[in-house]
Amino acid sequence: MNEPTAGSLSLRTALAMLVFTLVFTAFMAGGYLLTRDPIARSANAEKLLLIDQILPRSGYDNALLEDVIRLPPTPELGLDRGGHVWRARRAGQPAALVMEAVAPDGYAGRVELIVAVAADGQVLGARVTQHRETPGLGDYIDPRKDKNKAHPWISQFERPARDLPLAAWTVKKDGGAFDYNTGATISARAVTRAVGRVAAYAAAHRDALFK
Amino acid sequence: MNLKHLREIAQAGIWKNNTGLVQLLGLCPILAVSTNLINGVSLGLATAVVMAISGAVVAALRNLIPYEIRIPVFILIIAALVTVLDLAFNAYLHSLYLVLGIFVPLIVTNCIVLARVEAFAAKNGPLSSAVDGFAMGAGLVWLLALLGGMRELIGTGHLFNGIDMIIPSAQPLRVLPETYPGFLVAILPPGAFISLACLIAGKSWLDARAAKRAAQARPAAAPVSA
């Protein structure tokens, strides 16, 4: 056989590339279609597991994850890209809200949270879902990283005093009502203030959120 | 004979040609993820699985891939395999995915996978290539375990931080006394560079010592064999 010319060579390799691309794209598409439903199921189960920590299942009887509204970007909650609110009901009556929120002022940027607020305005609990605070220093806001396993820092938000004024939703160092670990105030302050803003927002927009 | 060949491949991957200590490839994930032992071993295992599978697939297809476009085709194959593996992990082994999951997409960015496919799988059979990929990954597992263990021990005084993600009831092991204040720099990125440098120096020292012993042993053995 003769040496292939530049033209026939590029045509052949382009064709081979096309075939490989099609085959492996089809392979990926097949994988996606096959795993789509199980993945959605496990993502929901995982989310519910986190919500269970701040809102016990005995407190509501609806399908919580399906009773959801999507908030547009809401600066009061720090949600610059919008977020979700899940609505817990018992016998059709409002029981509690589980709201996403963002503390924009963590030591290393955004700290993402979920906060449960009862229908009567009582804060029920909070969990950090995403953060980049310094390991070993500010990351105690995540109970899995908190060295105090018996009473992790975040457990202060389980039914704190009712009707705290917004100014009290900060660390004791700033005259607020909440503890912090010495040497790592910024992370605690950011989370505490964000939870306070969620409580205020839930109280102000309760009826609209449950509608 | 064939078994001996496979053993040599495995030895090269685990020690002689170790990705982290000798080839120094894929340093970014190695340094970023080795903050503790559990993370390190998780990334190592995920990499080993991906490398074994991509090695085998590329080796099986190697005669169909035109030489001129082999690199883009390799990347395509690796990316597709990692994507599907990531989805399958997420769907069918969800509890394992919660531990390994964040590491799997990281592997695509790891040039070690492409490097082994190009250097080994493109020239060898599927079985040897799978062994090579897995051995390279195994070399990464022990290196990352050592590196992660060192960093968390010096940084926090504990070992096995994060074990509760795998065994929910297990607690990290406190190795240093309660009064140990921790040494944050070991956990932060500079600690990764310093620890890896110490390990590389340690391997070079072991290799140099082994070479010296072999050199000393040879003259003594020579008359016997002559």
Where exactly are the structural domains of chain A? 1-54, 56-210
Measure A160 CA to nearest chain B CA, in Å. 28
Chain-centre distance for alpha carbon A169 = 20
CB contact (8 A) between residue B76 and residue A21: yes
Helix axes A6-54, B70-92, angle to 10 degrees: 20
Of residues B69, B80, B155, nearest to A28 (C-beta): B80
Confidence of residue B21 (pLDDT cuts 50, 70, 90): confident
Measure A55 CA to nearest chain B CA, in Å. 21
Measure B67 CA to nearest chain A CA, in Å. 9
Confidence of residue B223 (pLDDT cuts 50, 70, 90): low
> For testing the chain B interface, which of A10, A23, A35, A107 should be mutated: the one with the most B CBs within 10 Å?
A35
Closest of A178, A70, A80, A161 to residue A122, by C-alpha: A161
Of residues A39, A134, A135, nearest to B87 (C-beta): A39
Task: Tell whether A32 is within 8 A of chain B (Cβ).
Answer: yes
Q: Which chain A residues are closer than 8 Å to B156 by Cβ?
A: 136
- In sequence order, what are the beta bridge partners of A85? A69, A99
CA gap B57, B180 in Å, rounded? 49
CB contact (8 A) between residue A32 and residue B76: no
- Whether the per-residue pLDDT at A123 is higher than 90: the answer is yes
A140 secondary structure, DSSP code:
G
CB contact (8 A) between residue B156 and residue A136: yes
Q: How many CB atoms lie within 10 A of CB B101?
A: 16
Chain A 39-58, residues with CB within 8 Å of chain B CB atoms: 39, 42, 45-46
Confidence of residue B168 (pLDDT cuts 50, 70, 90): low
Chain-centre distance for alpha carbon B16 = 13
Q: How many CB atoms lie within 10 A of CB A40?
A: 11
Give B79-110 pLDDT, tens digit per residue. 998 889 888 888 887 777 776 767 777 777 77
Measure B79 CA to nearest chain A CA, in Å. 9
Lowest mean pLDDT among A73-82, B15-24, B43-52, B185-194: B15-24
CA gap A120, A152 in Å, rounded? 25
Q: Work out whether strand A68-71 and strand A123-130 pair parallel, antiparallel, or are unpaired.
A: unpaired
Interface of B with A (CB under 8 A): 35, 64-66, 68-69, 72-73, 76-77, 80, 83-84, 87-88, 90-92, 94, 97-98, 155-156, 164, 182, 184, 187-188
Domain ranges in chain B are 2-216
Mean pLDDT, rounded, for B59-82: 90
Q: Which residue in B has a C-alpha nearest to residue A14's C-alpha? A: B69
Task: Tell whether A25 is within 8 A of chain B (Cβ).
Answer: yes
Give A67-86 pLDDT, tens digit per residue. 999 999 999 999 988 889 99
B129 Cβ neighbours under 8 A, 6+ residues apart: B55, B56, B58, B59, B117, B120, B121
Measure A24 CA to nearest chain B CA, in Å. 6
Half-sphere exposure for B194 (CA within 13 Å, toward CB): 12
Mean pLDDT, rounded, for A142-153: 86
Most confident residue range from B3-7, B30-34, B137-141, B175-179: B137-141
Cα separations in angstroms, B109 against A25, A116, A161, B53: 19, 38, 49, 16
CB contact (8 A) between residue A28 and residue B65: no
Q: Taking CA B57 as the corner, what is the angle to CA B54 and CA B58, rounded to the nearest 5 degrees?
A: 85
Between A19 and B175, the higher pLDDT residue: A19
Measure A17 CA to nearest chain B CA, in Å. 7
Measure B196 CA to nearest chain A CA, in Å. 20
Give B108-140 pLDDT, tens digit per residue. 777 888 888 888 888 899 999 999 999 998 998
CB contact (8 A) between residue A144 and residue B164: yes
User: ipTM beyond 0.85?
Assistant: no
Q: Which residue in B has a C-alpha nearest to residue A38's C-alpha? A: B91
Q: Which chain B residues are closer than 8 Å to A27 by Cβ?
A: 80, 84
Q: Which residue in B has a C-alpha nearest to residue A22's C-alpha? A: B76
Of residues B68, B88, B164, nearest to A31 (C-beta): B88
B2 Cβ neighbours under 8 A, 6+ residues apart: none
CB contact (8 A) between residue B69 and residue A13: yes
- pLDDT at res. B165: 67
Q: Which residue in B has a C-alpha nearest to residue A138's C-alpha? A: B184
